[in-house]
């Protein structure tokens, strides 16, 4: 979508972090932006900030795992701004730990937000975008963890691989429809995702999974803060991510990457897949099967 001026965008997880960065970029491009978030305080702060920059903004409290709430929010956005053209399914959470450490509650919470939240966003807004016939764009936030694996990221990685696959399938389904689809795969960004547990429902809490970033979990608790500070000091500003996403929408990019210096993480996985194809091809030829 090249012409965004005067059109409406919805950004889930828009109260802070990447979501707020995307909302700020879209508002700066002349869009009317609805930010949806589960945190009231962050939502109000984000709304005030965007309005202070001259944006036309609506703030809606939304739990993306609740389909009825999301549908009601969509109605409210359309009442306030009219037709929705861009949807960014960005809300996400993190639980660290190996698969052997995970409880069902860890799986249930991460998949509910990271995967079902994206599905709910697509199912809620796609029919509305298709109905007005003016085209549109959907951005689903995954992660580089949806392109490659790392120790201690089991549940999170599984959820983000699901978002990548969902997005690729959706893009194929919508080819030629005038509705584009991108999957955002960022590296480390300066957000609150490492404190995801603040929003974790009591019914989905466990004693196993943690929102402590995997690269610091092995450290004594007293050393973790300093290491995380070093990690985040190199993290990308969410405002930069927002500008990258804006360009990705304009280009209708299938994959939006924020950290091209991390390409080797993806290349190594693809090389392993190619090697496996070659080995099995050779085996079948040798066995005559």
Q: Give pLDDT tens digits for 151-182.
A: 888 999 999 999 999 999 999 999 999 999 99
Alpha-carbon torsion (58, 167, 113, 268), positive or negative? negative
Same domain, 30 and 132: yes
Residue 254 lies in a domain: yes
1 within domain boundaries = no
- In contact, 31 and 80? CB cutoff 8 Å: no
Q: What is the pLDDT of residues 21-53, one digit of tens each?
A: 999 999 999 999 999 999 999 999 999 999 998
Percentage of the chain lying above the pLDDT 90 cut = 79
The answer to whether residue 150 scores a pLDDT higher than 90 is: no
DSSP assigned state of 248: H
Residue 135 and residue 229 in one domain = yes
At 233, list the tokens. 């000091």
| Residue 288 included in any domain | yes
Count of the separate structural domains present in the chain: 2
Alpha-carbon distance of 248 to 246, in angstroms, equals 5
Q: Give a yes or no: residue 183 inside a domain.
A: yes
pLDDT in tens, 249-261: 999 999 999 999 9
Same domain, 191 and 274: no
| Per-residue model confidence (pLDDT) at position 194 | 77
Predicted local distance difference test score (pLDDT) of residue 214: 54
pLDDT at 215: 55
Q: Report the pLDDT averaged over residues 80-84.
A: 98
Question: Do 145 and 129 sit in the same domain of this protein?
Answer: yes
Residue 59: which pLDDT band, with cuts at 50, 70 and 90?
A: very high
Q: Poorest-confidence range of 103-117, 199-213, 271-285?
A: 199-213
Query: On the CB side of 261, how many CA atoms lie within 13 Å of its CA?
Result: 5
- Catalytic hit among 104, 156, 213, 283: 156
For residue 130, give Cα distances in angstroms to 35, 36, 85, 114, 180: 21, 21, 9, 24, 11
213 among known catalytic residues: no
pLDDT at res. 205: 82
172 and 132 inside one domain: yes
Q: Nearest 5°: phi and psi at 257?
A: -110, 135
Q: Does residue 3 sit within a domain?
A: no
Domain that residue 269 falls in: 263-289
Residue 279 has pLDDT above 90, yes or no: yes
- 76/123 same-domain check: yes
């Amino acid at each position: 979508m090249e012409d965004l001026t005067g059109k409406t965008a919805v950004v889930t997880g828009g109260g802070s972090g990447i979501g707020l960065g995307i909302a700020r970029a879209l508002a700066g491009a002349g869009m009317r932006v609805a930010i949806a978030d589960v945190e009231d305080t962050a939502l109000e702060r984000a709304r005030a900030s965007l309005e202070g920059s001259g944006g036309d903004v609506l703030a809606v409290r939304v739990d993306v795992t609740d389909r009825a709430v999301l549908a009601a929010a969509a109605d409210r956005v359309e009442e306030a701004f009219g037709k929705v053209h861009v949807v960014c399914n960005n809300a996400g959470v993190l639980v660290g730990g190996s698969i052997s450490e995970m409880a069902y509650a860890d799986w249930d919470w991460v998949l509910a937000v990271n995967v079902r939240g994206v599905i709910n966003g697509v199912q809620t807004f796609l029919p509305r975008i298709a109905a007005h016939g003016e085209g549109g764009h959907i951005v689903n936030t995954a992660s580089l963890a949806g392109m490659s694996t790392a120790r201690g990221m089991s549940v999170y990685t599984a959820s983000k691989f699901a978002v990548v696959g969902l997005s690729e399938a959706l893009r194929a389904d919508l080819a030629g429809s005038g509705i584009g689809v991108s999957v955002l795969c960022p590296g480390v960004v300066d957000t609150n995702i490492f404190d995801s547990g603040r929003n974790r429902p009591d019914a989905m809490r466990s004693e196993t999974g943690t929102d402590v970033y995997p690269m610091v979990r092995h450290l004594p608790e007293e050393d973790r803060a300093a290491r995380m500070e070093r990690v985040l000091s190199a993290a990308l500003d969410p405002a930069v991510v927002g500008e990258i996403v804006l360009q990705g929408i304009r280009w209708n990019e299938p994959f939006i990457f924020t950290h091209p210096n991390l390409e080797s993480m993806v290349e190594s996985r693809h090389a392993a897949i190619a090697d496996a194809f070659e080995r099995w091809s050779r085996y079948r030829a040798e066995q005559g099967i």
